[in-house]
Amino acid sequence: MRRKLVGWGFAAVAGMALGIGLLVLIVLIATTALQAAPITAMRAVAGAGISLSLRSMEVPGTREAAGYVTVAQVEAGSPAAELGLARGDALLVVGSVPVERPSQAWEAVRGAPGGRGVVLPVAWLPRAEVALGTLRATPGGVTVATPSPMAQAGGLAPGDLLLSAGSIPITGTRQAWEALAVAARTGGAPVEVKLNRAGEEIRLLWDPVRRGELRFVRDPLRAWWGFLTTLNEPRYPERAGLLPALVGSLYVVLVMAAVAFPLGIAGAVYLEEYAPTNLLTRTIEVLVANLAGTPSAVVGIIGLEVFARALGAGRSVLAGGLTLAVLILPTMVVASREALRAVPRTLREAALALGATRWETVRHHVLPYALPGILTGTILSFSRALGEAAPLLLLGAFLFVTYVPQGLGDSFTVVPLQIFEWATRPQDGFATVAAAAIVVLVTLLLLLNAVAILLRNRFGRRWAG
């Protein structure tokens, strides 16, 4: 009875631990996935052909700044280009939402009712040269030098002294256009422009806003696929791409695996099967066990001093891979030794008694038997290395890498570093992109761990008998 109770107790504690673990994992993934969700709308905007950036104007007479959104890039041949949007235009409204920040444009696309594709009205103020023409700062204020055709059509004439747009005083040549944009967005068009023409104050009701409809394709699959497979465009989160970081991670992990896998197993086999028990091997054992606990940042400094500087590998894929190899080698040796130690002595004796040499015994019987355990340890080490940012940061890996590394000597970035870089950007949208990259990284790590479990089960069943 008591034994049963104890058993139940253990089962309850184990179940609770497992449940809490799973819950934390699910909450973690759910929240990051939620944070990453706007990426679909972001890439839909990018897909329509425009990149947005946030600008701000100081409102004269106040200490406040008013934000507005400019079109930073227009892709040639895109729907946006066909509509007439151009670089430098101020985007004012998407759907029914006035946009003060880029994120509001994405939110408007995200929140619009409809299916995968939506057609939304957009309104924008053409860039300063088109909307206003050239202005000049004169002692009296901002004067129209040569009005653009559009400004002329709206009623502006050369020599006009611009006073205000909406309720915003005009104080500068650039600011005049900004005031127009902010006034059009907040007060709507037409905008009441006050000006002084030949000493006389004139109120002009002018509508400088252009309108049209843009089609946005909200396709999560396409968005995520695009995120994974495009080069990184570091300035615009809606064009951020994880490809350079993914390839960088892959290369670095490959270099690391090529170095750490054979060395780790060889080291473990030597220590476990060959090394005599003397002071030297004891010392090595203690050293290895302690190295396994070295903070990864310290390993990064070793990598910087030894591989990047002394060996002249620089901030290359090679140096990164070697640094990570140093990081995981001790763990790999310890885990592999554990697996080797679990091989029954009777199996070794069976082979040795047949006249097998030590190496034949190890190669044909001990290693195959220990392999699932070794592989499990290896994959777990690899997944740890895949998630490491600190050592590579110290190594000096580049944060801005917009190309895919081609060889061992190229500079690189990795997914965790890219996440770090994105997460520290203050601009709208980078948090979303960072969250998306986290989702990718966590998925990768889970996949690797699943493979480790599968390996263990598959081989475990085959051998255990």
Q: Which residues bind another protein (CB under 8 A)?
A: 276-277, 344, 346-357, 360, 364-365, 369, 462-463, 465
Nearest approach, Cβ of residue 342 and another protein (Å): 13
CA 290 to chain centre: 33
Nearest approach, Cβ of residue 372 and another protein (Å): 12
Nearest approach, Cβ of residue 463 and another protein (Å): 5
Nearest approach, Cβ of residue 380 and another protein (Å): 24
Torsional class of 69: left (φ above 0), alpha (ψ -120 to 50), beta (otherwise): beta
Q: Between 69 and 351, name the residue whose CB sits nearer to another protein.
A: 351
Nearest approach, Cβ of residue 298 and another protein (Å): 35
> Do the beta carbons of residue 320 and residue 250 sit within 8 Å?
no
Establish whether the linkage from the previous residue to 295 is cis, with ω within 30° of 0. Answer: no
Q: 294: exposed, middle or buried (C-beta count within 10 Å: 0-12, 13-18, 19+)? A: middle
Q: Between 16 and 347, name the residue whose CB sits nearer to another protein.
A: 347
Whole-angstrom distance, CA of residue 317 vs CA of residue 252: 6
Whole-angstrom distance, CA of residue 384 vs CA of residue 203: 67
Whole-angstrom distance, CA of residue 406 vs CA of residue 416: 20
Q: Between 376 and 432, name the residue whose CB sits nearer to another protein.
A: 376
Q: Between 242 and 343, name the residue whose CB sits nearer to another protein.
A: 343
Q: Between 121 and 368, name the residue whose CB sits nearer to another protein.
A: 368
Q: Between 62 and 278, name the residue whose CB sits nearer to another protein.
A: 278
Minimal CA–CA distance to 362: which of 272, 278, 442, 295?
A: 272
Nearest approach, Cβ of residue 345 and another protein (Å): 9
Alpha-carbon distances, residue 302 vs 320, 323, 328, 418 (angstroms): 11, 8, 13, 22
Whole-angstrom distance, CA of residue 57 vs CA of residue 398: 33
